[in-house]
Amino acid sequence: MVPLEAPAAGSAAPLDGAAARKQRALARRKAFSLFVKAKEVPVAARCAAGGEGVRWRCCRQGFEELSGIHRHVALQHGGDVGQRAAAEGSPVDPAGSADGTQGRCRGAPEVAWALPDTSRVGHDDLTSKVGEVLLYYCYCEVKDPEELCAWQKALCQHLHLTGKVRVASEGINGTVGGSKAATNLYIEAVLSHPLFKDILCQEDFKSSAGGAHCFTDLRVGVFKEIVPMGIDPKIVSYKETGIHLSPQEFHKEVEHYLSQASLGQSDTILLDCRNFYESKIGHFQGCLAPDIRKFSYFPSYVDENLKLFKDKRVLMYCTGGIRCERGSAYLRSKAVCREVYQLKGGIHKYLEEFPDGFYRGKLFVFDDRYAICSNEDIISEFQ
């Protein structure tokens, strides 16, 4: 081991952990205040700068309230504030973060990745009530879920998006609503993120008519699983999933299954992985729909019906595909099925190509719309 060098003569003794953190916090608050102060619009110039109410201007945006400029600086200029704090003598952590947060969301978060530039998008376009709801997921190894969570929260707030985003060490699962301009920028930001740029693509985002009003608020958090099946991802991994079928391939498989089933010769099970109240209002013709109230009951259903699946070809489907990832992995772990397939992109993607195909009724969604329609069939009404 290399011995630590003694402090040079005349140099300040190193601070202990608590004192160093306190000094960093004070330096950062000072740097933050000075940064905001530098963005003030002189009283004499406020009218020319966009109205008497505009007291601060930054990144081609005007701010009337102190909370507005504070939020903007926290989200957009965390790095600038950190550099300024370090330049004024704040102790810097070996990891390189001026305040030791390493990008984690503590108060005003230090965002590790850039947020999209919205200066060229009108405020009305960014906050329009006419928009869409995005649904997507990505299974991948996330080394720092807290850091990704902080970025997602900052990104959604920056774009005025509402919805739910689950982050875990096994990936991300999101459904967000907002204006078309906002969701386009969101997709671009996610696709350019180092974690996802070589895994996700534009087709992995499912969209439907809606907007920010489809959710009551924004909820972003870190969980053990990105979809709650109740089994440790290390025990049943997404890496052991079934064979993915495109909507076209799945359509042909269902067509063949139905023709064989009508003759009593089918060796295939068309399995709906969703909850009973979802399949009740819409499902694929000829499917097996388990009577389960939530996805965490799916493993028990499989365990109780292993004989049913023995030597069968199983075609699985769910809303957007995510439940099939872990669900098919669990079914395969039982080593009873001959083959396990799943619908890539779920019912959402299938309906984009086959709106009047073998899926009949409504598609249940987990937001204030409750369901979206693709055909005129009414399988069952909501109770």
Positions annotated as catalytic residues are 318
Identify the residue whose tokens are 């009593």: 264
Beta strands in 2-151 (DSSP E): 56-58, 61-63, 131-139
Structure-token match 């068309």, residue found: 270
What three-state secondary structure class fits 288? Answer: strand
Burial of 229 (0-12, 13-18, 19+ CB in 10 A): buried
DSSP string of 12-29, one letter each residue = PPPPPHHHHHHHHHHHHH
Given CA atoms 350, 354, 360, 363 in this order, what sign does their dihedral have? positive
Please give the Cα distance from 110 to 153 (Å, whole number): 11
Question: By the 8 A CB rule, do 368 and 269 touch?
Answer: no
Structure tokens at 335: 């080593």
Let me know: does 361 contact 347? Beta carbons within 8 Å.
Answer: no
Tokens (6 digits) for 35: 């940064």
The CA distance from 169 to 139, in Å, is 9
Contact residues for 156 (Cβ-Cβ < 8 A; gap 6+):
162, 163, 165, 176, 186, 218, 220
Report the SS3 class of residue 369.
coil
Burial class (CB in 10 A: 0-12, 13-18, 19+), 171: buried
Place of tokens 């990936």: 171
